[in-house]
Chain A
Amino acid sequence: MSAGNMLYGGDEIGALVFDPGHHSLRVGYAQEDTPKAEIPSVVGVGPSAPDTNMDIETKTDNNITQNNADTRKYYVDTTYVNVPRTQMEIQTYMKDGMIDNWDLFEKVIDYTYAKVIQSDPEYHPVLFSEASWNVRNNREKLTELMFEKYNVPAFYLVKNAVLAAFSSGRATALVVDSGATHTSAVPVHEGYVLSQAVVKSPLGGDYLSMQCRQHLEKQGIDLSPAYKIASKDVVKERDNARFTLRKLPENLTQSWQNYMLKSLLQDFQMNILQVLENPYDERVAAQIPSVHYEFPNGYHQEFGSERFKLAESLFDHAMLGAGQLASTSVGMCDADVRLSLFGSVVVTGGNTLLQGFPERLNRDLQLRAPSNTRLKMISANGSVERRFGAWIGGSILASIGTFQQMWISSQEYEESGKGQVERKCP
């Protein structure tokens, strides 16, 4: 411990930070500025392999969680999930912002320690993030899992909104988090979530993908993801695509195909869609230059006003628009903290990278905020900082010297059990 460390208040103890979300699980060492890995929060579940050549299979695959009772095979992480395999179902372990399928989640954690961290869990304290509306049962279960199965030396659980606020250097903030499955507005006061005033809506990136899919299918555009395409020819704009299909294994499951289609749509929506700063207006939208997009099968065209119309669906709901969520949430807080909440609105989550999202949110909030309040929006510029806001906050928190007294240590767990997570991690 040197003087320099004292100066900046940092003290790193080799902690790991896990930030589970609906789109992905972010994992990495505390004190680093980006996660070591971003693992999709889905697991491919294959049928039990034929007994004979199982050894070879396990060697080539990453199937490290083979045990005797469960002969199904699990595929974790992008490189394994994205491979077309016979009868591989795609399942997610998340539900409503919380971990739901614990067996699958364990597989992912196993994979993380073996392939990403490549170290034993008993050497690294673990900091987990959680949704602000996580329930006691879930929290205790996670605590139990980490201590009992992975023997971590210490554990801590923080609400992801608090972490996102920390990553922007705020202890008091209104965190507007728009992720894959939902958008939420969470007031954070001096490092604590005001849980009574959390507001969320199910409009997120996935909803937008669905809208895109409906729109593109209505247009009659063939949405073949890249895995289906063996080769393609260059065609003129809006001409029919000329491509040959790849030879694929039989019995590809619907869930896997949907998953692959979704990643195509996500690419489409991130590149094409844009939110207007003011509510959608056909004339304004028509004046903005159109954007060109080429689908994996070679078909390409310009997208004009529809790219604004699609994105507008995130905002034009009377009750569920992001601006409405934020102002409702502030309205539910004590009158004394409202000013400070409006004074720092932290925008985080991958879906906020949608072009024009922060500007539109700013405008919507400005309309709803009382006229004499100072409204300040804080949105990180880099896509990494925006997508991994909560993880970065966790990385900061876990490497602060004064935080090291907060961990639930294994000794404490043994003394008072999992129930104390409720007391120690508010």
Chain B
Amino acid sequence: MADVRDILDIERANTPEVTRESFLVQKRRNFEKAKGVSKRPEGMHREVFALLYNDNKDAPPLLPTDTALGIGAGYKQAKARLGMKKVRKWEWAPFNNPARTDGAVFHHWRRTTDDQKDYPFAKFNKQLQIPTYTMTEYNTHLRTNVQKWNKAQTDHLFDLAKRFDLRFIVMADRWDRAQHGVKSVEDLKERYYEVVGLLAKAKGQNSDKKSYAFDAEHERKRKDQLKKLFERTTQQVEEEQMLLNELKKIEARKKERERKTQDLQKLISQADQQSDVATNVQSARKYEKKLVKKKLHHQPRPSKVDSVVNAIEIGGSGIKFSDLRGSGVSLRSQKMKLPANIGQRKVKALEQAIQEFKVDPSPPPTEEICNAFNELRSDMVLLCELRTALSTCVYEMESLKHQYEAACPGKTLNIPPSLIPAEPIKEEIIEPGTSASTNA
């Protein structure tokens, strides 16, 4: 109804203005009042009365809610009933902006109730402190410089710095090339920070303000490289990509080759082991049959021992622990982890050796312990390998002995005691192959 009254220009009772509190409180009170008024007359049935009087005149809800009109605290938000209240007035009011230096007055819309504070956006008027210099300061500190800037150029630079708030890229763009020659962004920065540094030093305010050093050479180089990066043609980019792919391929191939040689080595050693047994039997027969040809036949045949020793020497024996460089932050204990490319058998042997020597299987990973532990385990692996090598050698020696005895019945091959392993020592192992053949 407020609208109609407004239109007809009828004076309205002076109601208080709306605030959030006022209408929320008002609502509660209305409800209570209504509750008091609606009382069932005598003799009227409750059902009939319920049709007449309702708390709210809305249709009954389809779903039960506990929220209507303040029964319980309620989740439903109270509806704002604003129509009956007077609105707060706006006015087209003049304002003064303290951020302006000229005191110009503009107008904007403002609530009459709002207090006349300072223009709220003035506080965003932040300005950079660009140092200034006097003529004498210039003459004493700034006149001589390597880049041969003169006073006019320096003045222009500082003027631009003030106007564009040290946006050097824009400053370089607006640099007066006709008057002051062409300058790059780096030239401007170099001179600016040089001057600022010198002024700070001269004024002795080094203590509280950090002066920035600008490495112009580095910046120029960086930008040069950046430019080169941008100015690559598609051909160059493609070529680079191609080369990278090639490199990857080569590396993959190299790995493949390494893997293959390892496999081959393994195969050879396995095949040797098997064929050894076979050839031993065969050759024994041959010896029986062709005694005449014995001398000719007896070539220095490939001994198993050689291959084993070679394998140990080539394989570098021991464990190559991966260095964790380049993989970011990691725990030092990771250094002690066994690399994945170690075979299951080696790992087993290593575990056994660790148990055998009663070494703590996971010592605290300090730098020293890490290195020492890794070395130790590497040596252990070597030890295991050498042990197996030794045992094969001993086996071979025995078999040679048997061969010999079979070939020349009645004779026994005396193996010098130095070759019989009492305590395994490195030197012993390398010998047997050669000594066996010399003995024959």
A17 vs B105: C-alpha distance when bound (angstroms): 19
A70 at the interface (CB under 8 A from B): no
Q: Give chain A residues whose Cβ lies under 8 Å from the Cβ of B223.
A: 334-336
Q: Mark B90-129, 1 if CB is under 8 A from A, else 0.
A: 0000010101101110111111001001011110110000
Question: In the complex, what residue of chain A is closest to B223 when comparing beta carbons?
Answer: A335
Which residues of B lie under 8 Å from residue A195 when comparing CB positions?
173-174
- When distances are taken between beta carbons in the complex, the residues of chain A under 8 Å from B293 are none
Q: Looking across the interface, which residue of chain B has its beta carbon closest to that of A423?
A: B163
Partner of A190, one of B122, B170, B174: B170
Closest chain A CB from B239 CB (angstroms)? 12
Q: How far is the CA of A336 from the CA of B121 in the complex (A)?
A: 32
- Check B169–A125 contact: CB distance below 8 A: no
- Please pick, from B104, B107, B163, B226, the residue contacting A410 in the complex, using a CB distance under 8 A: B104
Instruction: Return the CB mask of A176-200 against B: 1 if under 8 Å, else 0.
Output: 0000000000000110101111000
List, in ascending order, chain A residues with CB within 8 A of B173's CB.
Answer: 189, 192, 194-197
Report the Cα distance A52→B376, complex, angstroms: 120
Q: Within 8 Å of chain A (Cβ to Cβ): is B380? A: no
Given contacts A407-B104, A426-B164, 15 further A-B contacts (CB under 8 A): A1-B95, A1-B120, A189-B170, A192-B173, A194-B170, A196-B173, A334-B169, A335-B223, A335-B227, A336-B223, A371-B234, A402-B121, A402-B125, A409-B104, A426-B174
- B35 contacts A by Cβ under 8 Å: no
Best-surrounded residue of A11, A153, A410 (most CB of chain B within 10 A): A11
Docked pose: A335 CA to B121 CA in angstroms? 35
Q: Does B185 contact A (CB under 8 A)?
A: yes
- Inter-chain contact A14/B107, CB cutoff 8 Å: yes
Nearest B residue to A407, CB-CB: B104
Decide if A189 touches B169 in the complex (CB within 8 Å). Answer: yes
* A2 nearest CB neighbor, chain B only: B111
B110–A153 CB distance below 8 A: no
Closest to A5 in B: B120
Which residues of B sit under 8 angstroms from A219, Cβ to Cβ? none
CA gap between A258 and B108 in the complex, in Å: 46
Report whether B124 and A11 are in contact in the complex, using a CB–CB cutoff of 8 Å: no
Residue of A nearest to B160 (CB): A426
Bound-state Cα–Cα, A331 to B233, Å: 13
B117: chain A residues at CB < 8 Å are 1
Q: How near does chain B come to A254, taking the closest CB pair, in angstroms?
A: 43
A6 and B170 form a contact (CB under 8 A): no
The answer to whether A9 and B109 have CB atoms under 8 Å apart is no
Q: How many residues of B contact A (CB 8 A)?
A: 39
CB of B229 within 8 A of CB of A194, answer: no
**Measured CA separation A252–B223 after assembly (Å):** 61
Q: Mark A377-417 against chain B: 1 for CB-CB distance below 8 A, else 0.
A: 00000000000000000000000011011010111100100
A-B contact pairs, 29 of them (CB 8 A): A1-B108, A1-B111, A1-B117, A1-B120, A12-B109, A153-B104, A189-B167, A190-B167, A190-B170, A192-B170, A331-B230, A335-B227, A367-B234, A370-B229, A370-B230, A401-B121, A402-B125, A404-B97, A404-B99, A404-B106, A404-B121, A405-B122, A409-B100, A410-B104, A411-B102, A411-B103, A412-B102, A415-B102, A426-B174
A interface residue count range (under 10 / 10 to 19 / 20 to 34 / 35 or more): 35 or more
A336→B169 contact, CB < 8 A: yes
- Evaluate whether A336 and B108 lie within 8 angstroms (CB atoms) in the complex, with A9-B121, A189-B169 already known: no
Chain A residues whose CB sits within 8 angstroms of the CB of B185 once the complex forms: 334, 336
B172 within 8 A of A: yes
**Cβ–Cβ < 8 Å partners of B172 in chain A:** 334
Indicate whether B210 reaches chain A with its CB closer than 8 angstroms. no
Closest to B88 in A: A2
Closest to A187 in B: B173
Interface centre among B100, B117, B173 (most CB of A within 10 A): B173
Is B12 at the interface (CB under 8 A from chain A)?
Answer: no
**Nearest CB in chain A: distance from B128 CB, A:** 14
Instruction: Point out the residue from A154, A190, A335 that lies within 8 Å of B226, measured CB to CB.
Output: A335
Residue contact A11 to B170, C-beta cutoff 8 Å: no
Check: A360 CB closer than 8 A to any chain B CB.
no
A335–B104 touching, CB < 8 Å: no
Report the minimum CB–CB distance from A238 to chain B (whole Å).
46
A335 and B108 in contact (CB under 8 A), knowing A194-B170, A194-B173? no
Interface residue? A73 (CB, 8 A): no
Q: Quote the shortest CB–CB distance from A153 to chain B (angstroms).
A: 7
| Residues of B contacting A14 in the complex (Cβ-Cβ under 8 angstroms) | 107-108
Interface flags for A5-26 (1: CB within 8 Å of B; 0: not) read 0100101111000000000000
Q: Is A338 an interface residue (CB 8 A)?
A: yes
Q: Is B232 an interface residue (CB 8 A)?
A: yes
Q: Which of A142-192 contact B (CB under 8 A)?
A: 153-154, 189-190, 192
Q: List, in ascending order, chain A residues with CB within 8 A of B243's CB.
A: none
CB-contacts of B122-177 with A (<8 A): 122, 124-125, 163-164, 167, 169-170, 172-174
A367-B237 Cα distance, complex, nearest whole Å: 12
Chain A residue contacts of B107, Cβ below 8 A: 13-14
Complex: A208 Cα to B173 Cα, angstroms: 33
A125 to B121 Cα, complex, angstroms: 18
Q: What are the residues of chain A within 8 A of B169 when measuring CB–CB?
A: 189, 194, 333-334, 336-337
User: Which of B108, B121, B174, B232 has the most A CB atoms < 10 Å from its CB?
Assistant: B121
- A337→B227 CA distance, assembly (Å): 11
Kindly list chain B residues whose C-beta atoms are within 8 Å of the C-beta of A196.
173
Which of A6, A13, A338 is within 8 Å of B120, CB to CB?
A: A6
Inter-chain contacts of B234 with A (CB < 8 A): 367, 371
Residues of chain B within 8 A of A189, CB atoms compared = 167, 169-170, 173
Contact with B along A316-341 (1 / 0, CB 8 A): 00000000000000010111111000
| Shortest distance between the CB of A331 and any CB in chain B (Å) | 8
Q: Which residue of the partner chain A has the closest CB to B240? A: A371
| Residues of chain B lying within 8 A (CB to CB) of residue A338 | 230
- Residues of A contacting B237 in the complex (Cβ-Cβ under 8 angstroms): 370-371
Which residue of chain B has the shortest Cβ distance to A400 in the bound complex?
Answer: B121
| Chain A residues near B102 (CB-CB < 8 A) | 409, 411-412, 415
Instruction: Rank and list the top 7 A-B pairs by shortest CB-CB distance, nearest first.
Output: A409-B104, A401-B121, A405-B99, A335-B226, A192-B170, A13-B106, A411-B102
Chain A residue, CB-CB nearest to B95: A1
Are B104's CB and A412's CB within 8 A?
yes
- The residues of B that contact A194 with a CB separation of less than 8 Å are 169-170, 173
* A336-B110 CB under 8 A given contacts A154-B104, A371-B234, A402-B124: no
Shortest C-beta distance, A69 to chain B (Å), equals 35
Interchain nearest-CB distance for B186 vs A (Å): 10
Nearest chain B CB to A426 CB, angstrom units: 7
Contacts of A192 in B (CB 8 A): 164, 167, 170, 173
Measured between C-beta atoms, what is the minimum distance from A367 to chain B in Å?
8
> What is the CB-to-nearest-CB distance from B334 to chain A, in angstroms, rounded to a whole number?
33
